[in-house]
Structure 1
Amino acid sequence: MNTALDFGIFQMPEVRPERNWTLYFDQIVQEARLAEDLGFDEYWVGEHHTKAHETVPDPLMMLSRIAEATERIRLGPATVNLTYEINDPFNVAEKLAFLDQLSNGRANYGFGAGALPRDMAMFNVDEERQKDIMWEAIDVIETYTDATELTDFDGEFFQYEDRIVQLPPLQEEPPTAVAGFTSTGSYSGAIEGGHRPLTLPFSPLSAPDNPDALGLKRMGETIDEAATSLGRDPQAARREWSIARDVYVTDSKEQALEEIREGAEEYYDYMLGLGDGGLLQFVKTDPEQTRDDLTVEWLVENLPMIVGSPDECIKQISALHQEVGGFGTLIVNSHDWMLPEQKWRDSLELFAQEVMPAFQSRKGPREIEKEQVPGYEPVELAADEDPFAIDSSKVIGTGD
């Protein structure tokens, strides 16, 4: 196994409205602390304001609380939605710099244009100029992050006079990421602007028959094209690409499907129903598909999701890496699986203990030494193997 990857966790957060949200905030902190203990590299928290599923309106406040409970893991918003009128970019620059100070230089900056339709309506987003506003807001943030004296900014959407961020970020150049979902422009713009491209967990692997869906393969091609146009090594640019996926590790794929089915169906009923079902257009691979066609089995095979035993998950991550042409960070999507909390923690521990070392060779002995152990066999992906395929004869439940 020679594929080197970093690993993170993305906490949307997404939780059912009947649960105790105050307790859930405590559980987010506990999860971040566990992620650090398990060796994850970074922890991301989303920003959402409506729809009674997504609980954190200000990820920077949540991350500052996490910063107090952790020491090593990097922390970032995924994302600060820069088109919302509440997120004035100068104020965002100040708060991100402050988060970097509070976390002792562990902040990742994550930017997006917003996607939740009701959020965008509430905060008066101009959808026709959404990306233009986002890129100019990033320019504001970078201008005032770097400024060492009183500075003006005279843009199309934002104007400031004689301003400075009094307390700079602790890092000289905090790493930045830009999330993309429906447009290749987010990926080319990320590479051109020196940002990490960040992909959401429900982008399909490939959707050549659906012009509305932007698949992972096309995202990767866009990264290659942008890097080449700048004279950069495309593989080095891909190393900056982070892909989020649903992940669940247990004894077998069949056991995983049985345990996550109810939670996965509830989650995707919510997600794909957003905007009167508009999100469905960007996930399905065939324009004629309906929500009923996107079963849990379809999602596992086509997004794809990473589920099953540790060996099955290793093969799936390897296949995903090969299929898209390479990326640098796999981010585990954390949400309400409708499971006892311990089962999710067990999944994360199995992932860290038995899956991550396959992609982080220095977390175990040299391969030549492993081969001395009787019965040891490396996990290899056969050339003709489809690790995402599901044997329907072994599926335990149907969800009917």
Structure 2
Amino acid sequence: MTDLDFGVFTMPEHYPWENWNLSYDRDIEEAVLAEDLGFDEYYIGEHHTGGYENVPVPEYMLAKMSAVTDRIKLAPGTVNLPYHDPFLVAERLAFLDQLTDGRLMYGYGGGGLPSDLEMFGVGEEKREMMDEAIDIIQTYTEAEEPTSYDGEFWQYEDRIIQVPPYQEKPDEVIAGLTTLNSYEQAGREGMYSLSVYFTPLEAPDNPAAPDLGDHGDALERGAKAGGRDPQEARENWRIVREVYVSDSKEQALEDIRSGVEKSYGYLIDLGLGALMKRDETQPDEDLTLEWMAENIPWIIGSPEDCIRQIKALQEETGGFGGLIINSRDWVTTEQWERSLELFAREVMPAFKSNLGPRDWSKENVGYASPSPTEDTFAIEPDSPETPADDD
């Protein structure tokens, strides 16, 4: 695999008892910080109900973020297509691509929040609606003259998008939740793919929860079916994880415990706990902080812990191209920003060859450990180099 890309994903999840107007400013500031720290991508989700996830139109947030950033790629994570007229989505995304000077990644999803799906009256036809909507978006972002479309869910006559995308071929990102169709499509069509933060590494006894291994296999199947390179499909694969960097794993667990209980209590109450389990008979009570940190798994602890965990995830999944940090309100802003900074300073260079010295130089540095232990410089009194005093 090539070097990893890194990004930040925010649903966003902000507590319903907090000042939501202030939370939007914090999200904007986080995108600026992510760019300053060298992250490659920033995603923001779309939700309409539930009381925690408070951005119904991610494109508005991305437009404001684009005005205060210069380099970082921006993406809705995702536009939930069954809720929208896809011609208007195509027009909005093309216009936003112009406003971002080509930094936009088109993010597609079918919607995952049960209360959102219920409010919009979307049922088992969700997948078919998303597929048709993607086809419509692709059709009208590419069409150079008035074009008609006769689909199962949407029909248009002689329509054209007046303002074309800034990019000749915008990057497209597709996310899946309960099936593998999105990952096969991503591999087949050369799209980026996004695995959500609670997708388990392995779920051998839970048919309702496709795991990361299943996602990787589906990407390769799709790529082969589309005559594409399976390795490229993996390099376009983004895996979202809970990430928190502190002085130690014990300190990290202590810092985030209270926030995790609130966040995952909400998710489990929504019924999403079923998608996190290795075994479908596993009770919700087993989904503790410690269990999830080890079994989803999460990337938490010291920088060295995080490096080891990411390398293990690369090996166990067969390889992927991007690790995306799930943004959380579990700790204070100062603690969260410190975590992001530690990640950028001490974790990223292990996976981006341009962020540190060449390997030869590293190997020839006399002392290169980023975290010396207390006995690193200890001198044995009886060693030949340092003879003990006679008196």
Tell me which interval the TM-score lies in, with the shorter structure as reference length: over 0.9
Instruction: Note if 1:303 corresponds to 2:296.
Output: yes
Q: Could you tell which deviates more after superposition, 116-125 or 27-36?
A: 116-125
Deviation, 1:194, is 2.5
Q: Report 1:54-203 matches (<5 A).
A: 54-84=53-83, 87-125=84-122, 127-203=123-199
Maintained 8 Å contact 1:371/1:377: no
Q: Name the counterpart of 2:200.
A: 204
Cα RMSD over matched residues?
1.3
CA 1:185/1:214 → structure 2, altered by over 3 Å: closer, same or farther? same
Distance 1:189 1:214 in 2: 15
- CA shift at 1:290, angstroms? 1.6
What aligned pairs does 1:360-379 form with structure 2 within 5 A after superposition?
360-377=352-369
Would you say 1:358 and 2:350 are equivalent positions? yes
Q: TM-score, normalised by structure 1?
A: 0.91
Q: Tell me the alpha carbon deviations over residues 111-153 of structure 1, each in whole angstroms, 9 at most, x when there is no partner.
A: 000011111111121x211101101000000000001111111
Name the residue aligned to 1:391: none
Alpha-carbon displacement from aligned partner over 1:214-252 (angstroms, at most 9, x marks no partner): 110111111122222333321121001110000000101
Segments of structure 2 that go 5 or more residues without pairing to the other structure are 372-391
Residue among 240, 244, 247 paired with 1:248: 244
Q: 1 CA distance for matches of 2:70 and 2:315? A: 34
Q: CA deviation at 1:3?
A: 5.7
One-letter amino acid matched to 1:206:
E
Residues 21-55 of structure 1: CA deviation (Å, up to 9, x unaligned): 10010000100000000000010000001111001
Match of 2:234 among 238, 248, 251: 238
Distance 2:7 2:312 in 1: 19
1:347 corresponds to: 339
What residue number does 2:375 align with?
none
Q: How does 1:38-57 map to 2 (within 5 A)?
A: 38-57=37-56
Number of equivalenced pairs: 371
- 1:110 aligned counterpart, secondary structure: strand
Take 1:295 and 1:195, find their aligned partners in 2: how far apart are those partners? 34
Written as runs of structure 1 = structure 2, the 5 A alignment for 1:316-335 is: 316-335=309-328
In structure 1, what is the Cα distance between the partners aligned to 2:275 and 2:246? 29
Once the two structures are superposed, the pairs formed by residues 268-279 of structure 1 within 5 Å of their partners are 268-274=264-270, 277=271, 279=272
Q: Which has the larger radius of gyration?
A: 2
SS of corresponding position for 1:128? coil
Give the Cα separation in 1 of the matches to 2:98 and 2:322. Answer: 25
Aligned counterpart in structure 1 of residue 217 of structure 2, from 212, 215, 221: 221
Q: Deviations over 1:298-322 (max 9, x none)?
A: 0000110000000100000000010
SS of residue matched to 2:36: helix
* Aligned partners of 1:180 and 1:198 also within 8 Å: yes
Matched residue type, 1:164: I
The aligned amino acid for 1:67 is: S
Identity over aligned residues, as a percent?
Answer: 55
Distance 1:93 1:233 in 2: 28
In structure 2, give the amino acid aligned to 1:59: P
Deviant stretches of 4+, over 4 Å = none
Is the contact made by 2:180 and 2:210 (CA closer than 8 Å) also made in structure 1? yes
What TM-score, normalized to structure 2?
Answer: 0.93
Distance 1:215 1:294 in 2: 16
Alignment partners' CA distance in 2, 1:228 and 1:90: 30
Cα distance in structure 1, aligned partners of 2:168 and 2:225: 27
CA distance in structure 1 between the aligned counterparts of 2:299 and 2:183, rounded to whole angstroms: 23
Secondary structure of 2:12's aligned partner: coil
In structure 2, distance between residues paired with 1:232 and 1:30: 38
Picking from 308, 317, 320, the partner of 1:315 is 308
Letter in 2 for 1:71: D
CA contact (8 A) 1:3 1:318 kept: no
Which amino acid counterpart does residue 177 of structure 2 have in structure 1?
Answer: F
Letter in 2 for 1:70: T
TM-superposed CA distance for 1:164, in Å, is 0.6
Q: 1:75-124 deviations in whole A, cap 9, x for unaligned?
A: 0100000011xx11000001101111111110000000001111111112
Shift of 1:377: 4.8
Question: Displacement, 1:209?
Answer: 1.1
What do the CA deviations read for 1:185-235 (whole angstroms, capped 9, x no partner)? 111122223311111000000001111111101111111222223333211
Partner Cα distance (2:274, 2:288) in 1: 15
Question: In the aligned structure 1, how far is the partner of 2:213 from the partner of 2:285?
Answer: 25
Tell me which amino acid in the other structure corresponds to 2:343.
F
Unaligned residue ranges in structure 1 (runs of 5+): 380-400
Q: Give the distance between the partners of 2:68 and 2:26, measured in 1 at CA.
A: 12
Q: Distance in 2 between matches of 1:280 and 1:343?
A: 27
